Amino acid sequence: MEIKVTNQNEQLVIKKLAELDDKVVGACARAMQRGLLGAVAKAQLEYLSGPRPGKIQSISGRLRMGMNSSITISSDGVTGNIGNNVKYAAFHEFGFHGVVNVRAHSRVISQTTQGRNSLESYADSTRSTRKRANSLDGEFLGFMESRKRASGRQRTGFVGVQFVKAHQRKVDYAGKPFTRPALEAMTPFILEEINTELKALK
């Protein structure tokens, strides 16, 4: 594109260039917003919905619901961000290698409840009342309610409790990234959306 600037059209050229710059920024922002929403959806569906052990299996849904994206427009251009606002998201995204402090706690190690004729597993006896966690294929993965919490409703039988002292534990966890691979996979789509918006400018 060639632009000839003279004393007569100088102000007009500056105005048109400023308008063009605003249009370009707006087009890039719209395209990037669509692309990042696609990256969020990809992370939720392909990286935060299992199957284990390669990917994170959604139990409570907090990590999936915590995915978000945003667009920032500044004098430097358009910046897109994708991330997760759940506190332990970084632990899975980047992994962790080090020592953590474990607080003193108690845990239920066994439960039985008195049935009509014999003792049965408390987990089996409450199977119809505890919340079940299933995979996308309907496979039973476990109970969303912890054994310790469920024991609070137990009225008969026995509960075995173990008391654990405060201690340090070495953690060597490689992580299971979900944000970065989703964004990398969607980068061609984001660039395509930007090109489409720019071509539509008049």
Verify that 178 and 92 share a domain, yes or no: yes
Verify that 110 and 143 share a domain, yes or no: yes
Verify that 130 and 178 share a domain, yes or no: no
Element housing 41 (H / E): helix 10-42
Verify that 91 and 30 share a domain, yes or no: yes
Q: Which of 193, 181, 179 is nearest to 35 (CA)?
A: 193
Look at residue 148 in the predicted model and tell me its pLDDT: 67
Residue 70: inside a domain, yes or no?
yes
Look at residue 172 in the predicted model and tell me its pLDDT: 95
What domain count does the chain have? Answer: 2
CA atoms within 13 A on the CB side of 126: 26
Q: Output the pTM of the full model.
A: 0.67
Verify that 51 and 115 share a domain, yes or no: no
Residue 22: inside a domain, yes or no?
yes
Verify that 181 and 89 share a domain, yes or no: yes
Structural domain boundaries, residue 92 = 10-97+173-199
Q: Which residue has the higher pLDDT, 109 or 104?
A: 104
Verify that 93 and 57 share a domain, yes or no: yes
CB 42 within 8 A of CB 182: yes
Verify that 93 and 178 share a domain, yes or no: yes
The sign one gets for the Cα dihedral 3, 8, 10, 12 is negative
Residue 2: inside a domain, yes or no?
no
Residue 5: inside a domain, yes or no?
no
What b/e sequence results for 168-182 when a residue is b if at least 16 CB atoms lie within 10 Å of its CB, and e otherwise? eeeeeeeebbbbebb
- What CA dihedral angle connects 75, 79, 83 and 86, to 10 degrees? 10
Residue 75 is which amino acid?
A: S
Residue 3: inside a domain, yes or no?
no
Residue 27: inside a domain, yes or no?
yes
**What is the percent of the chain where pLDDT is above 70?**
66
Verify that 112 and 83 share a domain, yes or no: no
Verify that 93 and 115 share a domain, yes or no: no
Residues 32-76 have pLDDT tens digits of 999 999 999 999 999 998 888 888 887 788 999 999 999 998 888
